[in-house]
Structure 1
Amino acid sequence: MKRSRTAIRRSRLAYGVGAVAATLALTAAAQTPASAQPFSADPAPARSAPANSASTDPAPVRSATAPVPTPEALAPAYADCPQDLPTGADRTKWRCEVTIAYGHVKLGGIDLPDIKPITLVHAEGPLPDGTFGQVMGTVRAEPTPVPGAPGLSVRTEYGGYADFLSSGAMDLKFRLVSPFLNRACAIGTDENPVKVRLSKDAPSTWLSQDPPLVRFPAHDDAFTTPAATRCGPLGRAINDRFALPAASGDSLATFTVYYTFKTYDRLAGS
């Protein structure tokens, strides 16, 4: 007996739900962060390179694999430096910062102990009125496979807001990538992002002064994680398997952060 097209579609959908649900089991391992210090993107003494050599006592590395990037390796990211600076910005004082973060991210039941490095590019500098300003550039990251869930990956994306000058605030979205999911499927949206507010765990360490390379560890263990949305028929299975939405205390972001910078008058093409 031939089945109707509707029955066939339902059968395929049921197969897809079963296939994904069968691979969405993983063990969520919580991590207790070290006591935090108030976040500062770059303390005042480090706004310009110090006269003494960089400290040989490195800040603690919270990720199991956090290779020290060289400024040369980070150089291609300067192509993302924002060019629309505020009116009256002094290009000899405004700088483009390239930041790369290695670390551990836990979103409810999605545990990524070695998330793919997140590269952020933004500009900051003094405004004509004497205050400091910033302009966001880009957030880029490769998809990170979810342990225990073959075929499912998570890609970090910009969520529409950042404050690197004072609060360590960063709104993010985490795109869920799978052949079974809609391309729009994500944890966090522009209207309801994942609001990470990083606190430093140790003072910044200058690893190099010329070219500049700075490192510090930071974490947030108090943010909430919204449910995955726009995932199509598998949305409920995703949220059930990964205990989403997740309350404060059930998620974690802990990073070893490196950054380098150039003033705009030293960028290629300036």
Structure 2
Amino acid sequence: MTKSTAVRPGHSPVRRVAAVAGTVVLAGTAAVCAPGVAYSAPRATAPSVTDFRDCPPLPEGVNPGRWRCEVHTAAPRLTMGKVTVNLAPITMTHAEGPLPDGSKGQVWGAMHSSPTAIPGGLTGTPAGDRAAVLGLAIQPEYGGRSDFYTGQFSLRFRLLGPLVPHDCMIGAGDPVDFQLKRSGPSKWVSQDPPVIEFSAYDDTFSAPAAEHCGPLTGPLNRRLGLPAAQGNLMSYDASYTFKTYDQLPTTSPRDSA
């Protein structure tokens, strides 16, 4: 990739839920799209005020006027294994520009996200939606690798719920690697401030099994259809804005926090 700087469950209730989740027959929770076709999710709305507090420090020796901090927001639609969800909006911040030797450089900033409920909860049945204790949610987290020049980045997906151990995660060891392909040309929505919209997707990534989920590890993987080497899809309608570093305050909000 391009040069980049990133870088308890209870006892008897858990056993009962594990037994139920392991025997449930799932139906109607998957919506697998044909390979090579990008699903068009509702477009993410650009924020009226963009926060540049996560802009990272620049590498030594670069020209701030030729480096820009980019902030982009998206509400991706994710099909992974047997489950399809419209993820809550995520925000990613990074910097990019030429290094002193003329090569392309990037510096990772930050990612913010929030949980999204998985329909059917732990059991994949109406009971999983009605009983709060059976709830299940998914939250993407930065996976430690990114190359925004080529549309590559990695994510881990934390699984959350009253009965789910805190460390339960899809991609805990090796994160899920995405290689986004553009669905069409970018569109300038505004010149001042600059706001650009784009659509992209990846239907080639593999989804690993969930790990560190205690007694629920096996039932959860059966419930979610993981691991899944095929039939996965991330559709990504997003908007982004940017400022060059000579337009940013000398002391960023993150530095002064």
What is the number of residues matched between the two proteins? 229
Aligned residue type for 1:101 = A
Alignment of 1:1-270 (within 5 A): 11-18=12-19, 25=26, 27-32=29-34, 62-63=40-41, 65-72=42-49, 75-76=50-51, 78-83=52-57, 85-112=58-85, 114-149=86-121, 150=129, 151-165=135-149, 167-189=150-172, 191-247=173-229, 249-270=230-251
The CA distance in 1 between the partners of 2:157 and 2:241, in whole Å, is: 25
Contact 1:96–1:264 at 8 Å: present in 2 too? yes
Aligned residue type for 1:81 = C
| Shift in Å, 1:117 | 1.1
Contact 1:173–1:186 at 8 Å: present in 2 too? yes
Counting aligned pairs with the same residue, the percent is 41
Could you say which structure has the larger radius of gyration?
Answer: 1
With over 3 angstroms needed to count, the CA separation of the structure-2 counterparts of 1:11 and 1:148, relative to structure 1, is closer
| Shift in Å, 1:15 | 2.2
Contact 1:139–1:158 at 8 Å: present in 2 too? yes
> What is the TM-score with the length of structure 1 in the denominator?
0.78
The CA distance in 1 between the partners of 2:21 and 2:43, in whole Å, is: 31
With over 3 angstroms needed to count, the CA separation of the structure-2 counterparts of 1:22 and 1:71, relative to structure 1, is farther
Q: Deviations over 1:90-127 (max 9, x none)?
A: 11121110011222101111211x21112110000111
With over 3 angstroms needed to count, the CA separation of the structure-2 counterparts of 1:138 and 1:99, relative to structure 1, is same
What RMSD, in angstroms, separates the aligned Cα atoms of the two structures? 2.2
> What is the TM-score with the length of structure 2 in the denominator?
0.82
Contact 1:144–1:154 at 8 Å: present in 2 too? yes
The CA distance in 1 between the partners of 2:56 and 2:243, in whole Å, is: 13
With over 3 angstroms needed to count, the CA separation of the structure-2 counterparts of 1:24 and 1:154, relative to structure 1, is farther
Deviating beyond 3 angstroms after TM superposition, the runs of 4 or more aligned structure 1 residues are 9-13, 18-26, 32-36
The CA distance in 1 between the partners of 2:157 and 2:25, in whole Å, is: 16
Q: Deviations over 1:169-195 (max 9, x none)?
A: 111101001111111101002x41101
SS across alignment from 2:65: coil
SS across alignment from 1:82: coil
With over 3 angstroms needed to count, the CA separation of the structure-2 counterparts of 1:68 and 1:203, relative to structure 1, is same
With over 3 angstroms needed to count, the CA separation of the structure-2 counterparts of 1:145 and 1:129, relative to structure 1, is same
Q: Deviations over 1:64-113 (max 9, x none)?
A: x33421351xx22x111112x2111111121110011222101111211x
With over 3 angstroms needed to count, the CA separation of the structure-2 counterparts of 1:243 and 1:269, relative to structure 1, is same
Aligned residue type for 1:261 = F
The CA distance in 1 between the partners of 2:247 and 2:24, in whole Å, is: 50
Aligned residue type for 1:107 = M
Contact 1:71–1:211 at 8 Å: present in 2 too? no
The CA distance in 2 between the partners of 1:30 and 1:12, in whole Å, is: 33
Contact 2:33–2:231 at 8 Å: present in 1 too? no
